[in-house]
Homo-oligomer: A and B are copies of this chain.
């Protein structure tokens, strides 16, 4: 889908890491999968032409939970009732590790995200250029308080943190994904045809 929607540009995939991530004290943990992250991030991914949304957790019960949720919406009654949700959830791929997300396709560039600025971070325009030049990019997001050091060390590049107004730096990962996909893939143009008259 992303290929049709993005002529001349590469494939963008997205990964949400539940292990290894860190808690507020910087300790390595595994976080729980949440139904909400799956839905919200899948809908944003579908909106912006992302090809696949990998949910990374090594825990069997969590992988099974993701599969059940996805099945309900993609092949089950959820999708009959709400085809838009089927379309979004069909992007979801539960996998055990980052390696499984990487080898699931061609070679790809790993682009990490962090709420903390990194020394060799990309600029937003540099990131936009990468999207033009590279065949496949995997955008990697962490849950909890972010990606563990061993995952960060594997990234080829990092996006800059999202700067708002002031120093409050506590966006939900769902919101960060939406904003980052919009910054990288969104359009500020909107077709004038089919505009609706405001009711008076």
Contact = CB atoms under 8 A, between A and B. Distances in A.
B43 A171 contact: yes
B165 A188 contact: no
Interface residues of A, number: 67
A6 B166 CA distance: 9
Interface in A45-66: 46-49
Interface in A83-123: 84-85, 87-88, 116-121, 123
A54 B150 CA distance: 42
Nearest to A148: B199
A196 interface: yes
Interface in A143-159: 149-150, 152-153, 155, 158
Copies in the complex: 2
A150 B200 CA distance: 8
A124 B175 CA distance: 20
Contacts of A134: none
A200 B153 CA distance: 5
A175 B40 contact: yes
B168 A117 contact: no
A153 to B, nearest CB: 5
Contacts of A39: 172
Contacts of A188: 123-124, 160, 163, 183
Interface of A: 1-2, 4-6, 36, 39-40, 43-44, 46-49, 84-85, 87-88, 116-121, 123-124, 149-150, 152-153, 155, 158, 160-166, 168-172, 174-176, 178-179, 181-183, 185-192, 194-200
